[in-house]
């Protein structure tokens, strides 16, 4: 989990957003990165947060196991 309060990462990656009034919000997206900060998986759209987190943990386990020696 990370915070992108200033939307720097959002802008750099072109992440999906929506606006309500004068406020810009991020649409739910799950990004799985490896130890070298390389994005390995992206889950979008996220319609079921619980299922998305379970899938992200499963994917992350596969990513980290490649770096364990």
| CA–CA distance, 13 with 18 (Å, rounded to integer) | 15
Per-residue pLDDT reduced to its tens digit, 1-25: 778 888 999 999 999 999 999 999 8
- Do 31 and 25 meet the contact criterion of CB atoms below 8 Å apart? no
Per-residue pLDDT reduced to its tens digit, 25-60: 889 999 999 888 899 999 999 999 999 999 999 999
* pTM of the predicted model as reported, rounded to 2 decimal places: 0.77
């Amino acid at each position: 989990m990370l915070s992108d309060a200033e939307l720097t990462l959002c802008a750099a990656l072109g992440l999906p957003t929506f606006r309500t009034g004068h406020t810009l919000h991020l649409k739910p997206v799950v990004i799985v990165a490896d130890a070298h900060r390389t994005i390995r998986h992206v889950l979008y759209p996220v319609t079921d947060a619980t299922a998305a987190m379970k899938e992200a943990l499963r994917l992350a386990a596969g990513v980290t196991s490649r770096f364990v020696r």
